[in-house]
Structure 1
Amino acid sequence: MAFVQQEFKTRAEHPPIGAAPVSLAEATAASPTGLPQQWYSIGPGIWELQLNGAPDSDYKSVLQWYEPNTTSVDPCAIITHTYIEEVCYLQGGLTDVTLGQGWGPGAYAYRLPGMKHGPYKSSPEGCLQFVKLVPVDN
């Protein structure tokens, strides 16, 4: 699936704290475009709203919402991936538990495949971030 041209749209509010998890399949079930129509769970207290791209792939743009004081799925695991990742914090912030360093609104990261980062813990107000994933051409 290619990216779909869009003008601005208003994002759906993130789920309330403690909301019941929603799977990617549930979020996509009634979609005429194949894109999820609502926020879905990617881990306990971590949500994603797909804005564009191919669902469940390494080629998409999403918003991610970490509920307040939420830690990555495995609070001890260093994160690496096979795609390029760009992140910009919009509200709240995250602390990289390994580095002991936190970032807030306006912070930006560009991560190449294999870069070690995380795990993360969200701030007391949570964290809303824009994330873009781009596969690496082989």
Structure 2
Amino acid sequence: MPLLDIYSLRNSGLDGIESQPIVSQGDIIARNSFGFTWSGTTLVEVWSTMSPINGTLRCAFTFYGNGGVAGYASRAQIYKNSQPYGVYRASQSEPVNFLEDLKFEAGDKIQLYVKAGYPEAGYSASVNNLSITKL
């Protein structure tokens, strides 16, 4: 019987089994109920996870700017693989629940970025109740 070396395995496609986990519609893929508050004027990544599957995922989060002033809204946005991907959201005071249905491939990095609207006056941006659900 011939020996199998790494070259033979790779060239024969025998170097491992690649499969996606079984995820049903409505299954929560990732969740974080802890809050995060940021008081800087630059967008920063406050949360990230890796997509385990291909398909459309519902990204949900609660976002609010603490003490916003007209023209100085706090911002939040979903990123994919460190690039802006979702809607550039704004909030000045009350917590708002946002939902976005976005397409991802297995291995894509799903991130949430936020920035404060007017930190010089003590304002900040807060986010919590993050979840990723399969549609």
TM-score, normalised by the number of residues in structure 1: 0.36
Instruction: Choose between structure 1 and 2 for higher RCO, CA contacts under 8 A separated by at least 6 residues.
Output: 2
Which is richer in strand?
2
Larger radius of gyration: 2
TM-score, normalised by the number of residues in structure 2: 0.37
